[in-house]
Structure 1
């Protein structure tokens, strides 16, 4: 900007009509349309009038070319979508705040196709009559879990809510005190039960619950026995819990169902790929559970969804609940879920095709080589204020899955080289990365900034490096 010219007055500001007819504004009109450009230009001219009166403008600032440049930047920023892609380098693979599981290519292609054209969401192509949207995934879920029937809602909290609202209204559901978990965001099992109209009957203690506790709790008001898989915390030491099989046997003796909230849920034995074991849905059904609820966007590796599988008569009741319509999923979720489930028919191919499993099993050697490639690029980008060091670190699965288990990983550690406390400088570095065109999300810990490379697959490495230019520094 040139030095202010005191001789400028509001009369020197070009009119809206003149600017809209200027060749410099033609690209703006073509890109953003007449209405938006007119409104933004009119508002900008109002600010220019005050700036002229304050003597803070030069004649160059009032040229149509300069005004067009200013408005281009403003309109581009305003047009940027709020939901944006980011690089998740936090070390948490299933990061709730960053969208949890990434969909495999098969699911992405199916979603695009479903968005582009009508689909047989509730239309039976064989009979030409009305269909049931659950029928799109019911056969697959039953095949993979051993359940008699299945239904899907928009997340696992909704699945638990719907199940309790259907099977335990104004009656008691027996749950161990040690399993009254908080799912997240202060969303707790007791709160869900209250909203569902079910009455909580706690048994046992925080660390120890026995089979007799369930047996003694059953009375004429008992609707079901419920197990909640504690996937987001662990109690150690002097502990005792009752297995699904034992609880199911007690419930069966008294003619009431057993429900199990698996939370993260998985359809395969993860230990075959060196990951910590988790109870599978099939194992839980085989142990005697009548209803099992679990998430679609955690260990399953699919879209956000709550899956309910189990006895056909109980699923039928759940589907007749008026809440089911309020909680049901649309064609986009079903389009993504079906191909993800289909991948599980060939479990030997999962590490290659299921994005979540591929990230969880990514070799440390691969990440180490990537860190060595990226270190000099990032060192040049941050300058001398930090040293960038390739280093071993630990990832976690995330979203409450296997909270105590970590995965050997590799990434980059940024250490402050100046004097004084590093806190402010680390915060500034975190913000610089977070405000890149495609934000980079890392974490501050132990007086350093960390970028875990587990979720930066090599296919996206070039895009990551491309924005680390002097202009973005």
Structure 2
């Protein structure tokens, strides 16, 4: 080590000096002394490493103290926090997918505040079932005989496969062996369940005769997977649910369909392409149907299974069900979401459906309001403009749909746009936009009306 570098290291303040600098600051009042001392040592260690690697000048006690206060600020805030979604992706997986309705939030708070009748039958005072809070709603909305809810749709599929086909073959079209987010694949889930994969058909074409030829003595289930997160177009063929059901029942085999995103509303009236609803698949005679709670349904994360009473009952008694079950807060939010559908008010009260079906003119007005809130000087410096753009549904739903939207474009240069992007992510609340063609776009389709003022203030 050079004499010069050693001298710089010696000029670093002592731990006690830094403690005197920060000891009386409001930010440190609630910090225990041992923790504060450890933070000071951590910052000084980092400063020593900086001097050794960069030949940098040492910070004085006041500057080191400021670094310590920054650490306290970062560690003292919650990691999971509200974020303004200005990406234009309605069901953004990384941002928590579906925002919940006001009623769902109210019900969560009400149930979380104290105790609840989660597993208590109030009429008999006997132990009840947590699923009873949503079973009747799901039966009524889907036409199914029974229902079960676990913590996500992958868990629902895993539970069904383990229950109905452990050690047996599951026949599925090769074109439906999908991968969902995080590299979770249907074949991998099947392997973990103990079921044996039997692929039929080709990537783009599968016929009824392919299923017929694959059924044998060890077949346990016919599985259909709706490719909700991608589309195969062109020279394609698949087997409709009704035909697969007829084959399965003729051979004494249950048929399950994994709908993925799952919707209780036909969205074609709002210009969306056809997606089979849960009700349609149940009406086709499919024995078990699984779908997500936090995608097109617009509720909390959950895996919902509806279908034949005898089969759902077997899932309920599987020991795996206890490991995969949902908690009281999720049930409260799901019940409130389903209640909106049952009351015919989902389109007016479920935020996901509101964001998907909102007319472009309303989104444009929100973007114009955001620009107006910036003020003339800031508008000029940021070169703020309202532009038309295309958003996405997200969450592995309706992959071919591009949502017409309006965004606020910011940043006269790429450097300014990147700087703004970072500043917004560090804001309170953080805001997440998209960097496109050297500009930062704040897509207002996914910015909730109540968030416009907060976004402008960031």
TM-score by length of 2: 0.88
From 56, 74, 77, give the equivalent of 2:74: 77
Q: Give the aligned partner of residue 308 of structure 1.
A: 305
1:118 matches 2:109: no
How many Å apart are 1:34 and its aligned residue? 5.4
1:369 matches 2:365: yes
Q: Give the aligned partner of residue 245 of structure 1.
A: 242
1:131 matches 2:122: no
1:449 matches 2:440: yes
1:389 matches 2:385: yes
From 346, 349, 352, give the equivalent of 2:343: 346
Q: Judging changes above 3 Å, is the alpha-carbon distance between structure 1 residues 271 and 112 closer, same or farther for their aligned structure 2 residues?
A: same
Q: Judging changes above 3 Å, is the alpha-carbon distance between structure 1 residues 80 and 368 closer, same or farther for their aligned structure 2 residues?
A: same
- What is the alpha-carbon distance in structure 2 between the residues aligned to residue 224 and residue 378 of structure 1? 62
From 187, 192, 196, give the equivalent of 1:190: 187
- What is the alpha-carbon distance in structure 1 between the residues aligned to residue 12 and residue 261 of structure 2? 63
Q: Give the aligned partner of residue 320 of structure 2.
A: 323
1:104 matches 2:95: no
Please tell me whether the aligned partners of residues 153 and 307 of structure 1 are also in contact (alpha carbons under 8 angstroms). yes
- What is the alpha-carbon distance in structure 1 between the residues aligned to residue 45 and residue 207 of structure 2? 74
Q: Judging changes above 3 Å, is the alpha-carbon distance between structure 1 residues 264 and 17 closer, same or farther for their aligned structure 2 residues?
A: closer
From 394, 401, 421, give the equivalent of 1:430: 421
- Mean CA deviation greater in 303-312 or 210-219: 210-219
**Deviations for 1:119-178, whole angstroms, at most 9, x for unmatched residues?**
111122111121111112111111111111111111000100110000011111111111
**How well do the aligned residues superpose, as a CA RMSD in angstroms?**
2.9
Q: Give the aligned partner of residue 207 of structure 1.
A: 204
- What is the alpha-carbon distance in structure 1 between the residues aligned to residue 15 and residue 192 of structure 2? 61
1:218 matches 2:215: yes
Q: Give the aligned partner of residue 278 of structure 1.
A: 275
Q: Judging changes above 3 Å, is the alpha-carbon distance between structure 1 residues 379 and 227 closer, same or farther for their aligned structure 2 residues?
A: farther
Q: Give the aligned partner of residue 150 of structure 2.
A: 153
Q: Give the aligned partner of residue 465 of structure 1.
A: 456
Q: Judging changes above 3 Å, is the alpha-carbon distance between structure 1 residues 100 and 315 closer, same or farther for their aligned structure 2 residues?
A: same
1:405 matches 2:401: yes
Please tell me whether the aligned partners of residues 146 and 308 of structure 2 are also in contact (alpha carbons under 8 angstroms). yes
Q: Judging changes above 3 Å, is the alpha-carbon distance between structure 1 residues 46 and 241 closer, same or farther for their aligned structure 2 residues?
A: closer
- Mean CA deviation greater in 138-147 or 68-77: 68-77
Please tell me whether the aligned partners of residues 261 and 396 of structure 2 are also in contact (alpha carbons under 8 angstroms). yes
**Deviations for 1:97-131, whole angstroms, at most 9, x for unmatched residues?**
11000000111111112221111111221111211
- What is the alpha-carbon distance in structure 2 between the residues aligned to residue 457 and residue 141 of structure 1? 28
- What is the alpha-carbon distance in structure 1 between the residues aligned to residue 125 and residue 103 of structure 2? 28
Please tell me whether the aligned partners of residues 94 and 298 of structure 1 are also in contact (alpha carbons under 8 angstroms). yes
- What is the alpha-carbon distance in structure 1 between the residues aligned to residue 452 and residue 282 of structure 2? 42
How many Å apart are 1:71 and its aligned residue? 4.7
- What is the alpha-carbon distance in structure 1 between the residues aligned to residue 115 and residue 144 of structure 2? 30
Instruction: Give 5+ residue unaligned stretches, structure 2.
Output: 1-7, 51-55
